[in-house]
Amino acid sequence: MRLAVIGTGYVGLTTGVCLAEIGHTVICVDNDKKKISLLKKNKVPIYEPGLEKILKKNVKSRRLSFAGNIKDAIKKSEVIFICVGTPPREDGSADLSYIENVAEEIAKNMDNYKLIVDKSTVPVETGEKVEITIKRNLKKNISFDVASNPEFLREGSAVYDTFNPDRVVIGVSSKRAEDILKKVYRPLKTQILVTDIKSAEIIKHASNSFLATKISFINAVANICERCGADVEKVAEGMGLDKRIGRSFLNAGIGFGGFCFPKDLEAFLWISKKLGYNFELLKNVKEINEKQKQHLVKKIEDTLWVIKGKTIGILGLAFKPNTDDMRFAPSIDIINSLQSEGARIKAYDSKAKERAKEILENVIYCSNPYEAAKGSDCLAILTEWDEVKKIDLKKIKKLMKHPIIIDGRNVFDPDKMKKMGFLYKSIGR
Ligand code: UGA
């Protein structure tokens, strides 16, 4: 099938590349000239394991191409996926101006039937607005359908998630749209859930908010565990064995970050309020998450006493492993708080370093974990990279001024760390 994907961010690029891999002819469009010129050179502008390899393969077999101009892509494609950003506005609502622009462009340039599929995360009722916008800007009476097809891929495992989804959700208002989208996804051989457009839109916000709720819930439980000497890892294991609960997303830590959970939680709260419902639960989820970052800062303060003048080594800056994404990373607030108390920060993250430099000031960036440990009063683990899990702890101990590790991701076994002579503190145990 001939498909166009508008927007080459994490979602758009992965979607475009993977749809080409399963046999479709895909044009990926972006108005960011720099991005398109990189992509045309077979270079992926983000760090996403496995993506570049499949991209190259599909460009070579001519199923995948990139364009800066939307017009041509619209004319050549039967299905158009909108994957542009919906960044948060001051009041927490999603900025839908990029979606509106694309809808207008599609209307102005289509000359036969098109299925316009929204993949960007949007508040409920956006599908309706897209339909109205297209109708308003059409030059002549051409039939079209709008659909919602939310994306559930995770950064860092985006390619795997796209090929192995738990489900594909398609929100449609016509049989024609349903049949086309089913045909697009048939090669994935996965469960396809067909709903109305509004329900599909809510499935996305509700899923992300629910996962964020699971994380805040276990972080709240971790606080109880710390107060009474229980082990949150064991608690999560015991809870997770219940199939109705499940073990995933019950890892206590320094809270969730990234460009999805914080933003989508805000947007879901905003749309709920707009629809007349006060979603108190989500407010608490947000509050627990904010407190969890400061909880780690407090652990460091309690251990080091005066922060001013102390050197703190940071292992991991990205909001989670296997990504270079720094957007809403808990490390930002944690480092800012430590710096405001006068700490000297040395940090190591092999992938997120360049992006971190754009956000964090006065940080000494190290080229390996040992450099970050050297002469430090304490090490704080903020991202559970495999590289961090495998560090040579004996070497770290020798290099540090004091063998103190504050682990925000529960990477190491507390008993082993104690035996090795570390003062080791983690979350909820
Ligand atoms: C999330 C969802 O998991 C995807 O399904 C969704 O498609 C995506 O948002 C999106 O809306 O685009 P992502 O933000 O890439 O994916 O990352 P996650 O793996 O979900 O992690 C989010 C945050 O939660 C990270 O900061 C992570 O460290 C934290 N987390 C996750 C925990 O603190 N504990 C856990 O048990 C799991």
Note the Cα 277 to chain centre separation in Å.
27
217 lines ligand 1 (CB under 6 A): no
261 lines ligand 1 (CB under 6 A): yes
Cα–Cα distances in Å, from 304 out to 254, 307, 338, 409? 19, 6, 12, 19
Ligand 1 atom with least separation from CA of 329: 26
Query: Which has the closest alpha carbon to 90: 346, 267, 320?
Result: 267
Looking at residue 18, the DSSP 8-state letter turns out to be H
Residues in the chain, total: 429
pLDDT band at 47 (very low <50, low <70, confident <90, very high): confident
User: What integer is the mean pLDDT of 9-36?
Assistant: 97
Residue 88 pLDDT > 90 = yes
Ligand 1 atom with least separation from CA of 150: 7
For domain 210-425, the CATH class is alpha beta
- What is the residue-averaged pLDDT of the chain? 97
Q: Which residues are catalytic?
A: 260
Global confidence as pTM: 0.96
Edge-to-edge order in the sheet of strand 25-29: 64-67, 25-29, 2-6, 79-82, 114-118, 144-148, 168-171, 192-195
CA 425, CA 300: separation in Å to the nearest integer? 9
SS3 4: strand
300 dihedral zone (left: phi>0; alpha: psi -120 to 50; beta): alpha
222 lines ligand 1 (CB under 6 A): no
Residue range 2-195 in CATH 3.40.50.2300: no
Write down the pLDDT at residue 287. 98
Note the Cα 391 to chain centre separation in Å.
26
Looking at residue 420, the DSSP 8-state letter turns out to be T
Would 2-195 and 210-425 be classified into the same CATH topology? Answer: yes
Distance 271 CA to ligand 1 centre (A): 21
Edge-to-edge order in the sheet of strand 363-365: 363-365, 344-348, 311-315, 378-381, 404-407, 423-425
Q: What is the largest CA-CA distance in the chain?
A: 76
Token pair, residue 26, equals: 């895909």
pLDDT digits (tens, 9 = 90+) for 159-208: 999 999 999 999 999 999 999 999 999 999 999 999 999 999 999 999 99
pLDDT band at 409 (very low <50, low <70, confident <90, very high): very high
Q: How is the chain split into domains, by residue range?
A: 2-195, 210-425
Residue 121 pLDDT > 90 = yes
